[in-house]
Structure 1
Amino acid sequence: MNREVFITCAVTGAGDTVGKSDKVPVTPKEIADSAIEAAKAGAAIVHIHVRDPETGRGSRDPKLFKEVVDRIRSSDVDVVLNLTAGMGGDLVFGEGEQPLPLDESGTDIAGPLERLAHVEQLLPEICTLDCGSMNFAAGGNYIMCNPPAALNAMARRVQELGVRPELEVFDFGHLVMVHDMIKDGVLDDPIMVQLCMGIPYGAPDDPGTLMALVNRLPRDAVFSAFSIGRNQLPYVAMAMLAGGNVRVGLEDNIYLDRGVLATNAQLVERAVHILDGMNVKLLGPDAVREKLKLKKRG
């Protein structure tokens, strides 16, 4: 059980949610404004993806990241910035008996340092590293692709930059990768892990599986846990009871209640309400910086 909890808000993600909710932010201004509102509601960390303003699809354009980061840093709201480095690992095979050539409309494979271009330029306090490859979307031909050599190269560069990696773990094998990177010396303490539960073909979000993952974490790791969809809000309590921290946001769930579309601020407010009811102390940005030994930027 964790009595001192921080909340991360995953603001927009890269998934196909724009057509499902008009509250999902798309433009850099919308993403920054939504992040600031989430911080005002109680999020200590905001996890940032960007989207192509014309299509709404996920992007890794450093100019879009820069606009979002500049807007947040120039605001009067203090919040820890966590930029995704997951883009550039998207592999989509062709249909049926013709897996090659790859589906160019969905495939986006970049080198490990290219995937960190925006991180190197903007130096956030945290960036994410997806710690393995997996079948991701239900059905279809999409694979989230993160080879060990590429992950090691990314981890080493992030270490050189003085940015804290948040290690995204979707299944048990990804924790093997985390332990290997620790042995290779490319991760510094404290180790920061995000347990991503309920994603199709990843670890299911039942309590037994969650605790099995928690029991295999590196010693003294600081971790958060979340689930997607309808179980996002129940996981606010679940993560705290498992000893971790909390993540909510429109990247993972677009509903506040059945049939009621949410904003990021509303999801954070609901998380704060749940944690307040459990007599939990909420950590602000400065306390998170101290806990995670972060280098404040901007």
Structure 2
Amino acid sequence: MADSKASGGPAAGATSGTTSGKRPVIVTCALTGGGDTVGKNPAVPVTPEQIATSALDAAKAGAAIVHIHVRDPATGKPSTDLALYRETVERIRAVDTDVIVNLTTGAGARFIPSDADPKVGAPGSTLASPEARVRHVEALRPEICTLDITTMNFGEFVFVNTPAHLRVMGRAVAAAGVLPELECFDSGNVRLALRLIEEGVLHEPAMFQLCLGVPWGAPATPEAMMFMRDMLPKGAFWTGFGIGPAQFPMVAQAVLLGGHVRVGLEDNLHIEKGVLAPSNVALVEKAVRILRALDTEPANPAQARHILGLPRKPV
């Protein structure tokens, strides 16, 4: 399954900055997420200091991109507090590292219909305006932010990202000079992303993330990954990942199909069956071992910036 239609971007096969001649594969580490995982694994970072430290450690282990959510330090619950995002990003940028910062815009999309009136959200709903969902991106100007191109049943709630809201968010992100990572959870999401590109809301070359195994999206299988990859524009940059026990099999599959990879405690709490991951570092290190076993190399941040067409580290 090593054929690659969407080859990973304009410079996906580049070996700039290497002496080995092996393909550099970008590793993204999704550090903490917004799920109910605090308490299930003590390694999940919660405070800005913990998240930033985990990001820097993951970068040393081979991650070129760190994907960031923030949490309420007192409760561990997901948060959208701009001050928490600011502290986390500033702690990372204060260190002499070239790691690429990727902020989520997924918060504010959860809807749970109430029993009394389904039009009204039950406790746990977080629906927010598209403007509110990108305010931290506009304020902090990370190199990358996610843009979830989906409305879907997401476990027991609905994850809501309407085309109209995506247009508002996409234009705001573009105006901020930030590269959107287009998260696609099923094949129809890819179709919508391509439509938004046709409309000029999103620009090419685009960055796609194939998110597999999330209930109830596309399964984490080789067939699903290949099918969604084959829908992408020729030469598109793409990353693929699977959640839970599918995390590392999908690392190998994405590499074989010419893509890039993502791991981290947001997606998977275990380093192997029945064994909790001691850190994000351990997950990155295992992904790096898989990359090298497949005769590729983890891209360093400078190579990742070249592949993605990003500027050098902000000053």
TM-score by length of 2: 0.90
Corresponding residue to 1:277 among 281, 293, 296: 293
Paired with 2:234 and 2:108, the residues of 1 have a C-alpha distance of 31
Partner of 1:265: 281
**Residue type of the alignment partner of 2:120:** P
1:136 counterpart = 2:177: no
2: distance between equivalents of 1:78 and 1:297? 9
Q: How many residues align?
A: 293
- For 2:204 and 2:302, the matched residues in 1 are separated by 18
If the length of structure 1 is used for normalisation, what is the TM-score? Answer: 0.95
1:224 Cα offset (Å):
0.3
Unaligned 5+ segments in structure 2 are 8-22
SS of 2:130 mapped into structure 1 = coil
Q: 1:289 aligns with which of 278, 293, 305?
A: 305
| Equivalent position of 2:210 in the other structure | 195
Structure 1 residue 209 displacement after superposition: 1.4
SS at match of 2:161: coil
The SS at the match of 1:232 is: helix
> Are 1:241 and 2:241 an aligned pair?
no
Where 1:190 maps in the other structure, the secondary structure is coil
1:58 counterpart = 2:70: no
Contact 1:190 1:293 in 2 (8 A): no
* Equivalent residues of 1:156, 1:186 under 8 A apart: yes
* Identity rate, percent: 50
Q: Shift in Å at residue 159 of structure 1?
A: 1.1
Deviation at 1:287, TM superposition (A): 1.1
Contact 2:63 2:298 in 1 (8 A): no
> Which residue, 199, 217, 222 being the options, matches 2:232?
217
Tell me by how many angstroms 1:113 deviates: 1.5
Cα deviation 1:253-284 (Å, max 9, x = unaligned): 01002222111000000011111111102211
Is contact 2:288-2:297 (8 Å) kept? Answer: no
1:55-79 deviations in Å (ceiling 9; x for gaps): 1111111110001000000012320
1:152 aligns with 2:167: yes
Paired with 1:53 and 1:239, the residues of 2 have a C-alpha distance of 34
1:76-121 CA-partner distances (Å, limit 9, x unpaired): 23200000011111111124x6535321x31111111111110001
